[in-house]
Structure 1
Amino acid sequence: MTPTLLELEDQFTHLTLAPEIGGSIVNWRVLDSGQPLLRHADTHALNTGLPGKLGCFPLVPWSNRISDGGFDRPDGWLALEPNSHTDPLPIHGSAWQQPWQVVSQSASEVVLQLDSVKPFAYRARQRFQLSGGKLSIELHVTHLAERAAWHGLGLHPYLPRTPGTRLQARADQVWLSDATKLSTRQVALPAEWDFQALGGLPDTLVDNGFCGWDGRCLIQQPDLGYQLECQAHGSEYFLLYCPVDLGFFCIEPVSHPVNAHHLPGRPGLVLLEQDQSVEMAFTLQYKPLYL
């Protein structure tokens, strides 16, 4: 069945949302040229019903992978099952695999909501705003279960990649990972992963978490004629995923490192009691490049 699509448009860009497919962004493109600002999702991608084939999806109530089959809460263990055919570990929470409801829609704003009972009861909201070529996303979660649990948030945008793609995102350190893609230890940034200055993406696979981020990110696309100036709030980490020869990359603003539930001090996670909330936000400002 074809999903219901919602659309927002300002004087520069056009946004398409698919609430029923995990509250995902399908496409965000430039009006006059049609240039995709997120990885383009065609009809086939949309009809798969998979958020990972679209432009961006929310990460609630955690980001990335969790080991050991679950995590500990103050009053006991919460068991988790693998939730993806492509990964042996629980990944990206549960919000991306459930349909969201439309709370409100106007010419410049859409608000979506999810009331979830898995892996525990919570309410998530996303607010999308489009104005002056700026896409603003607010992600908010309220814990509804009687038993407290750890929460983390994130967004998973897919961005076009060409040989000319440049990235600037200042971080202090990077988490190395093992064969299961779980965080092992923090190290100083190797030269090829140092994006303090604007530079090209590595030619080899990157699938790692970066910490000590100031929340700012510049994505320059000279081959495609534009740049994105990005700003995250409530996120001191980003995950960078650069697959080889797939034509896209991901820089994901997240509130915690991979497998934070099992790292000392649970960095970036928030223990929420019933009716307590946490939120994050991410803005992407489109600007054409006149070369």
Structure 2
Amino acid sequence: MSNEDITLTAGDAEATVTPANGGRVGSLRIGGVELLRQGAKFGCFPMVPWCGRIREGRFLDGATVQQMPLNSPPHAIHGTTRDGAWRTARTTKNEAVITYDLVAPWPHPGRVAQAFTLTEDAFTLTTSVETYESSFPAQIGWHPWFNRNLGGDGEDVRVDFRPAWQEERGDDHLPTGRRIEPKPSPWDDCFGMPDGVDVTLTWPGQFELKVASREQWVVVYDEQEAAVCVEPQTGPPNGLNTHPRLVTPIEPLEATTTWSWRRL
């Protein structure tokens, strides 16, 4: 099984998956227009086995406190799988599955799989975490960097969503546990959408793209000039401590997000 780049096509949509670069989506082009910020750290990367920051890199794992490397001091951020090389399990013209075996510093054996399906007007990403040995807490999320501007004379993207609440963000950039009324942009914040994530990105006169997921949490980050991030995830930042979801030998963790678009 190789880990060479995979190109998926459907109609005039084209997506590139880069197993060797952290299993990320490197490109999404519609009619030749690139929607994702380009660069080795950008595109859209998986956040597994946790999303966002873990306070001081520590989380409770049964009765054991586990310590992750502080890759965003004083915290650990965005999981471990974006730093490794994934393997290609299968591909067709418009579908691909890639896998990654969890290794140190993550303390438990497990396998992560990402499945990608491209159609003429949608891109679906499904991620699962499974274990055949000890159970462990985990999260799944996606971190797409959508271009703020698609070039030409186009206007900057507009982000529209109606969350039920915003997680209050403390000075340490982590949720305090209080839920507050959603505040206006700029954001680097987690929001609750109990009926499922539903966020619309509009590049006026060009595209409307909807980010949807049955999950109830989304982080929106729009503090950078070049891109905006809309990140569906299975729990909030620091969620391994506050909202743990257990992966067991009989019950994997699985989540899906779909990006659907139309021309304006």
Give me the TM-score of the superposition, normalised by structure 1: 0.81
- Partner letter of residue 163 of structure 2? A
* Structure 1 residues 190 and 129: alpha-carbon distance in aligned structure 2, compared to 1, 3 A threshold: closer
What is the alpha-carbon distance in structure 1 between the residues aligned to residue 68 and residue 210 of structure 2? Answer: 37
Partner of 2:33: 35
Partner of 2:220: 240
Given the alignment, which residue of 66, 86, 97 partners 1:111? 97
Tell me if the contact between 1:27 and 1:54 (Cα under 8 Å) persists in the aligned partners.
no
Partner of 2:25: 25
Q: Given the alignment of the two structures, is residue 169 of structure 1 paired with residue 170 of structure 2, yes or no?
A: no
What is the alpha-carbon distance in structure 2 between the residues aligned to residue 117 and residue 276 of structure 1? Answer: 20
- Partner letter of residue 140 of structure 2? L
The alpha-carbon deviation at position 190 of structure 1 amounts to: 4.0
Tell me if the contact between 1:12 and 1:133 (Cα under 8 Å) persists in the aligned partners.
no
What is the alpha-carbon distance in structure 1 between the residues aligned to residue 81 and residue 182 of structure 2? Answer: 34
Secondary structure, aligned partner of 1:179: coil
* Structure 1 residues 190 and 256: alpha-carbon distance in aligned structure 2, compared to 1, 3 A threshold: closer
The alpha-carbon deviation at position 275 of structure 1 amounts to: 4.7
More strand by share: 2
What is the alpha-carbon distance in structure 2 between the residues aligned to residue 97 and residue 140 of structure 1? Answer: 17
Tell me if the contact between 2:23 and 2:82 (Cα under 8 Å) persists in the aligned partners.
yes
Q: 1:1-291 to 2 correspondence within 5 Å?
A: 4-31=4-31, 34-39=32-37, 41=38, 45-46=39-40, 53-82=41-70, 84=71, 86-118=72-104, 119=106, 120-146=108-134, 148-162=135-149, 164-192=156-184, 202=185, 204=186, 206-213=187-194, 214-222=196-204, 225-233=206-214, 235-244=215-224, 246-262=225-241, 266-267=242-243, 269-289=244-264
The alpha-carbon deviation at position 36 of structure 1 amounts to: 1.3
Tell me if the contact between 2:50 and 2:240 (Cα under 8 Å) persists in the aligned partners.
no
More displaced 10-residue stretch of structure 1: 3-12 or 107-116: 3-12
Secondary structure, aligned partner of 1:137: strand
What is the alpha-carbon distance in structure 2 between the residues aligned to residue 26 and residue 259 of structure 1? Answer: 27
- Partner letter of residue 129 of structure 1? T
* Structure 1 residues 144 and 67: alpha-carbon distance in aligned structure 2, compared to 1, 3 A threshold: farther
What is the alpha-carbon distance in structure 1 between the residues aligned to residue 124 and residue 54 of structure 2? Answer: 28
Count of aligned positions? 254
* Structure 1 residues 66 and 191: alpha-carbon distance in aligned structure 2, compared to 1, 3 A threshold: closer
Unmatched 5+ stretches in structure 1: 47-52, 193-201
Secondary structure, aligned partner of 2:210: strand
What is the alpha-carbon distance in structure 2 between the residues aligned to residue 75 and residue 185 of structure 1? Answer: 22
Identical aligned residues as a percent = 23
- Partner letter of residue 102 of structure 1? T
Give me the TM-score of the superposition, normalised by structure 2: 0.89
What is the alpha-carbon distance in structure 2 between the residues aligned to residue 186 and residue 165 of structure 1? Answer: 30
Q: Deviations over 1:179-204 (max 9, x none)?
A: 32111143332452xxxxxxxxx3x4
* Structure 1 residues 136 and 177: alpha-carbon distance in aligned structure 2, compared to 1, 3 A threshold: same
- Partner letter of residue 59 of structure 1? M
Tell me if the contact between 2:217 and 2:236 (Cα under 8 Å) persists in the aligned partners.
yes
Tell me if the contact between 2:17 and 2:26 (Cα under 8 Å) persists in the aligned partners.
yes
Q: Deviations over 1:158-198 (max 9, x none)?
A: 11114542222221111122232111143332452xxxxxx
Secondary structure, aligned partner of 2:219: strand
What is the alpha-carbon distance in structure 1 between the residues aligned to residue 211 and residue 220 of structure 2? Answer: 14
Unmatched 5+ stretches in structure 2: 150-154
What is the alpha-carbon distance in structure 1 between the residues aligned to residue 29 and residue 136 of structure 2? Answer: 38
Partner of 1:198: none
Runs of 4+ residues over 6 Å off in structure 1: none
Q: Deviations over 1:125-174 (max 9, x none)?
A: 0001111221111111102442x211111000111114542222221111
* Structure 1 residues 72 and 29: alpha-carbon distance in aligned structure 2, compared to 1, 3 A threshold: same
The alpha-carbon deviation at position 6 of structure 1 amounts to: 1.0
